[in-house]
Structure 1
């Protein structure tokens, strides 16, 4: 059983608190949470948004409580708590980014929560990056988390020096998720017929370029006529696309119980994670060794090859960084410009005049004529 919690709604935390969990506003204007049954002992819990909350709550519920450690001023745990409750930068992150960074910090704080902030030097942060070198993405995310927290702390004068300044990010190059090909689309269509949720999901991602976090949310309420508009989960940018006749037919042919266009086998909407796992299985069934994100890449490539300009790609795919759109347009432009340049070179080659011969059959015949006339 859960109850609605208006305070949590305002702070971006879950709108409902579990049974026996109570909140209290401290003199520092900060919400703290306790577990208490009736008039029994109060047990301090982590924030409901903290990855450690669930285990602490279950321990209290079963009679073996794990008290949330006391946070001492000037420690890493203290800074992280202030950063995640007071920083506008943190509040501006998407729910997915906040979750990712909380999981990263949960592991860091296990051993370092009570360490003084002065202990975290540039060398220490660089060491943290370097020890994650076998997983460059994890190293990069660790550094982003630390940069966000310490840059804010420096501006708020909570630390004298930002230890992340000058720290080298992991050196690696990757093209990320492999893009789908046209043959992949044909193979998927050949395996999954119109009327199945997997076919609808694939066609939506291909036409609209939706991320998996948006595919699980999009529904009838986002469609007006043949126009689909949705605020993307990752960036909050609104994308608006026109649905083709074929796309509308696929939508109409796919049965559903609720508003969501893509539902699981129980008629419920997917979570982002469960959708990714489910869709990968459907890809494997069609002998397509790609992911949902790779389909978005093909969509952007087709748009660029069809002549879509940078600003059009920004609008359709919800990107805020022009460099992302130029990844697709530059490659197409280079190909087009290269072809055009080669045609110019060919024309110039054609303008090169063929010189008159100075020797050969013509000259021999001329000399032969002169010899005859002398005779």
Structure 2
């Protein structure tokens, strides 16, 4: 049965070649670059479904306004060359900024005004940093288009609020992993997703688009969407059992009831509901990748071996995920050394005191 993609249709271009496009009322038209039915096609399709609708009246923008510069940025290579997932994030930030300041002239955003924006977003430091980064891009476009003077770069005289250090998503403990498996047996969709996340050690964004062709000869082979890192991970026995039990989708391994790939939000909600049902409301699918990395460290894998599984590019990133499995052992050894040194010092002091008494 041919897989259906709502809002996507095929047509013959002027060269007689069959192509596909996404057309949905109120949304931008997208022409697919990847062949129909491939993993890359699925990614483009999911990005189209998650895109924000086109704001009414965007074509009637004032020259030199924030909306004008944002429109120029969308058509620039700096935006067009981004990954589809990054485009979705950036569009969300810029469209919210456009909704608030779209008709304002871009030149009115001097360093003082941008600094005040950053101060107003102190409670959302990550969002503030992303907005500041995109404002820098907008001013590059504005300078190039001669909307603002060549030397006008107010962003460099500002800074985003400091991001507090965080441990990030909660890594699942062994007891929490066991509790989830007991609640969701083999043959259920949450258990299949759980096994792919834990034993595949990949991000949710990659697991959502794993196809049957991604798993061949007992290995998971993919190129990570976030970092473009190629990974080649063996299918271990618990994952093999989960794949055999299913339920598997027609194209992607995990599909919705409508036989479509899960959106980012839909997949998160699937797993979050499953976590709550298992009595683990503090757990999330993101933490399973940390648990996989932790298991690598506890097993004595080298950084290079662990990174070959998770796909992290740097040792620092990998260790942040994997943690330190031998911290307790190091602490025990260190404290024993401290106490031994204290005992040695005490024995020396007592010996010196005895020597003085004999004199």
- Residue 242 of structure 1 and its aligned partner are, at CA, apart by 0.9
Out of 311, 316, 319, the residue aligned to residue 318 of structure 1 is 311
- CA shift in 2, pair 1:244/1:181, >3 Å: same
Spell out the pairing of 1:16-31 with structure 2 (5 A cutoff): 16-18=22-24
Say whether residues 1:184 and 2:176 are aligned partners: yes
Higher relative contact order (CA 8 A, sep 6+): 2
Say whether residues 1:118 and 2:132 are aligned partners: no
Return the TM-score normalized by structure 2.
0.74
Spell out the pairing of 1:181-220 with structure 2 (5 A cutoff): 181-220=173-212
Spell out the pairing of 1:1-375 with structure 2 (5 A cutoff): 3-4=9-10, 15-18=21-24, 51-53=52-54, 56=56, 67-88=57-78, 90-150=79-139, 159=148, 160-173=151-164, 174-289=166-281, 290-328=283-321, 331-332=324-325, 337-338=330-331, 341=334
- CA shift in 2, pair 1:242/1:350, >3 Å: farther
- CA shift in 2, pair 1:220/1:284, >3 Å: same
Return the TM-score normalized by structure 1.
0.71
Q: Which has the larger radius of gyration?
A: 1
- Residue 20 of structure 1 and its aligned partner are, at CA, apart by 11
**Equivalent position SS for 1:15:** strand
- CA distance in structure 2 between the partners assigned to 1:350 and 1:116 by the alignment: 73
- Residue 233 of structure 1 and its aligned partner are, at CA, apart by 2.5
- CA shift in 2, pair 1:308/1:148, >3 Å: farther
Q: What's the Cα RMSD here?
A: 3.8
Q: Return 5+ residue gaps in structure 2 as ranges.
A: 1-6, 14-19, 30-47
Question: Which is worse superposed, 168-177 or 226-235?
Answer: 168-177
- Residue 201 of structure 1 and its aligned partner are, at CA, apart by 0.8
Contact 1:258–1:267 at 8 Å: present in 2 too?
yes
Give the equivalent residue in structure 2 for 1:367: none
- CA shift in 2, pair 1:321/1:168, >3 Å: farther
- CA distance in structure 2 between the partners assigned to 1:71 and 1:117 by the alignment: 12
- Residue 130 of structure 1 and its aligned partner are, at CA, apart by 2.1
- CA distance in structure 2 between the partners assigned to 1:126 and 1:118 by the alignment: 15
Question: Which is worse superposed, 208-217 or 331-340?
Answer: 331-340
- CA shift in 2, pair 1:158/1:181, >3 Å: farther
- CA distance in structure 1 between the partners assigned to 2:257 and 2:297 by the alignment: 36
- CA distance in structure 2 between the partners assigned to 1:114 and 1:208 by the alignment: 48
**Equivalent position SS for 1:274:** helix
- CA distance in structure 2 between the partners assigned to 1:112 and 1:351 by the alignment: 71
- CA distance in structure 2 between the partners assigned to 1:330 and 1:202 by the alignment: 21
- CA distance in structure 1 between the partners assigned to 2:186 and 2:112 by the alignment: 56
- CA distance in structure 1 between the partners assigned to 2:28 and 2:178 by the alignment: 54
- CA shift in 2, pair 1:243/1:157, >3 Å: farther
- Residue 240 of structure 1 and its aligned partner are, at CA, apart by 1.9
- CA shift in 2, pair 1:297/1:151, >3 Å: farther
1:128-151 per-residue CA deviation (whole Å, 9 max, x = no partner) reads 222223333333332333234335
- Residue 296 of structure 1 and its aligned partner are, at CA, apart by 1.6
Contact 1:195–1:254 at 8 Å: present in 2 too?
yes
Contact 1:5–1:17 at 8 Å: present in 2 too?
no
- Residue 209 of structure 1 and its aligned partner are, at CA, apart by 1.8
Contact 1:3–1:19 at 8 Å: present in 2 too?
no
Contact 1:304–1:328 at 8 Å: present in 2 too?
no
Contact 1:87–1:152 at 8 Å: present in 2 too?
no
